[in-house]
Structure 1
Amino acid sequence: MTRQASNTGASLSRLFVGRLIKLTGNVFKLMSYPFHWVLPDKRFTLPSHAAPLIRARRPSTIPRILWQTNFTDRVTLPVYLNYLCNRLMAPTFEYRFVSTQGRADFIEANYPAEVSRRYSRLQIGAAQADFWRVLVLHAHGGVYMDIDAHLIWPLERILGTEREALFVRSRKGGLTNYFIASRPGQAEIQAVCQAIGDNIAGNRQCGVFDMTGPGVFDEVIDVDSVESESYRYLCLQGSFTNERFQYVDKPEGKWTQEQKSIGVLRGEDDETPEAAERR
């Protein structure tokens, strides 16, 4: 049975606050154009770790950790404002940012060599981030959010203390992966980890979306069997930032463009750039 946002009054409150934050984000996004025109090289640093702003009163089944990753921790003003919004909406959560190299190091330290080897075959950053997010949640639990995603309601009130997992539904009603909350070892997250690993091992010929992304969630998770909420009442994307501000320092651009020029997977015997540098 899908347990979705039910209370009409609470839903309307979330919808209103979400619209207000979206409007505020859009204003800041517009203001960021002249800011970065005057200061084109100005960047802000996301912390690798930040302690909770407020101590929680009760323990929680889902660990109070907010995970994010990106190709760089040096970001433009809109991305940094998006980060600040989430810190304010999740004051009882510690924050952890993991870099590209940090993702690989984490998997190598916490998973068998075969998992690390499969991960190393992914040559598009977004696909790597897709695999890493479910692996880190399976190992440690917490909440994962994309770098351009922001909460529209206090995370403590959304999750409570007894939920074991919460997924977000897209506009079309299917599950997506830009917000995921789970306890360690959660069954559906484990199933997604296994499915992504199998896609890589089986050399599945498809794009990032179906190899490692939301397509995998829809394939292995029955939306009616898990707790989920519509993105409108939980978490939005792109209010504060856009592709220009998000990928200004990445010549390859967004993964949708990157996968047009390179495959999602490198050959099993191909050496990774990192390994080549170490030789």
Structure 2
Amino acid sequence: MNALIFITNRLSKIIGNICKILAYPFHMIFPKKRFAIPFYSKAKITTKKQSKIPRIIWQTNYSNRSTLPVYLNYLFNRLMSLSYEYRYVSTEERLEYIKNNTSDEIYNNYRLLNDGAAQADLWRLIVLYNEGGVYLDIDANFVWPLGCILKKDDPAVYIKIKNNTHYTNYFLATAPDNPDFAEAIALVVKNIQQRRTDIGVYGMTGPGVINEVLKGKNPITRSHRETCIQGSFTNEHFQYLDKPGSKWTHKKPSNLLKGKDHTEH
């Protein structure tokens, strides 16, 4: 690992952990205090450099009204992506976007998903296929400036975890019309149609889909330690403070999909 990247990786974890520690007494004193993540933030630095991957960061969550650590995580990422515009998409906007920008088949199967994380999994594939850009989970943070991570001719960049053996979907970067994303969308829809709840969110809509699609291929990859990591600034407690117990890991597989007749109403 590049020495400077290693240092920023460590620093982000130290800063993030300090933020988490301080957030506990802060939210004890101010239990109702929330901070608004903007729905749109323009690029702070303009550049004439052209790149295949659009300079757009996409994020979503159940609410843009966030706790202090989640908001500080957002600010840190904006500092690391000054030449990128930022777009936050709400639960309702995800549904509307998919309704207006996909086929009836994709839209109706999306509506069967009964879990916010699973919905976000499919939405990120669709919006990146249509628009391109960079998707980042709300609890993830860059460890190096995004403009240095992505090269101008990169058609897509994926990161690997578990000693660089597995692809993840908490960071995805691509140009529009990426055929791998089209394949991933089709696989998610197939999993929903076959009601593959037995493989959980991870396999039905999440990283398992990316790993299946990229199997045997040789895409551009980076280690997460040199690119983007999770949990430095926030944790499940602060991310779901207003919806405790709602993280996808707590959902029973049998509850991941609505009844088959749901889309008829």
Q: What TM-score range do you get, normalising by the shorter chain?
A: over 0.9
**What is the alpha-carbon distance in structure 1 between the residues aligned to residue 47 and residue 190 of structure 2?**
39
- Do residues 193 (structure 1) and 185 (structure 2) align? yes
Partner of 2:5: 14
Q: Deviations over 1:71-127 (max 9, x none)?
A: 011000000000001100000110000001110000011111111001000000000
- Which residue type is aligned with residue 118 of structure 2? A
- Unpaired runs of 5+ in structure 2? none
Q: Does 1:57 align with 2:48?
A: yes
In the TM superposition, what is the alpha-carbon distance from 1:188 to its structure 2 partner? 1.4
Are 1:205 and 2:197 an aligned pair? yes
What is the aligned partner in structure 1 of residue 208 from structure 2? 215
- Post-superposition Cα deviations, 1:110-164, rounded to whole Å, max 9, x if no partner, equal 1111110010000000000000000000000000000000000000011021111
1:260 deviates by 2.2
* Partner of residue 109 from structure 1, selected from 95, 100, 107: 100
Tell me the TM-score normalised to structure 2 length.
Answer: 0.95
In 2, distance between residues paired with 1:210 and 1:160? 30
Give % identity: 44
Question: Following the alignment from structure 2 to structure 1, what is the Cα–Cα distance between the partners of residues 121 and 47?
Answer: 29
Query: What does residue range 164-179 of structure 1 map to in structure 2 within 5 Å?
Result: 164-172=155-163, 173-179=165-171
Query: What is the aligned partner in structure 1 of residue 255 from structure 2?
Result: 263
Cα distance in 2, alignment partners of residues 263 and 131 from structure 1:
17
Structure 1 runs of 4+ aligned residues shifted over 4 Å read none
Q: Partners in 2 of 1:224 and 1:201 — Cα distance?
A: 26
| 2:58 matches 1:70 | no
Q: Is the 8 A contact 2:111 2:263 kept in 1?
A: no
Match of 1:228 among 198, 221, 228: 221
1:4 alignment partner in structure 2: none
- Correspondence 1:89-168 to 2 at 5 A: 89-168=80-159
The alignment's C-alpha RMSD in Å is 1.5
Q: TM-score, normalised by structure 1?
A: 0.91
The offset of 1:261, in angstroms, is: 7.5
Cα distance in structure 1, aligned partners of 2:263 and 2:187: 24
The change in CA–CA distance for 1:145 and 1:102 in structure 2 (over 3 A counts) is same
Moved more, 11-20 or 63-72: 11-20
Give, in whole Å, the separation in 1 of the partners of 2:6 and 2:141.
Answer: 14
**Contact 1:32–1:78, Cα closer than 8 Å, also in 2:** yes
Cα 1:139–1:261 shift into 2, 3 Å: closer
Match in the other structure for 1:34: 25
Shift of the alpha carbon at 1:224? 5.2
Aligned to 2:230: 237
Q: 1:221-245: CA deviations, max 9, x gaps? A: 1375101111100001000001100
**SS of match in other structure, 1:225:** coil
- Contact kept in structure 1, 2:197 and 2:254, CA below 8 Å: no
The runs of 5 or more residues in structure 1 that have no matched partner are: 1-7
Distance in 1 between residues matched to 2:246 and 2:48, nearest whole Å? 43
CA contact (8 A) 1:175 1:218 kept: yes
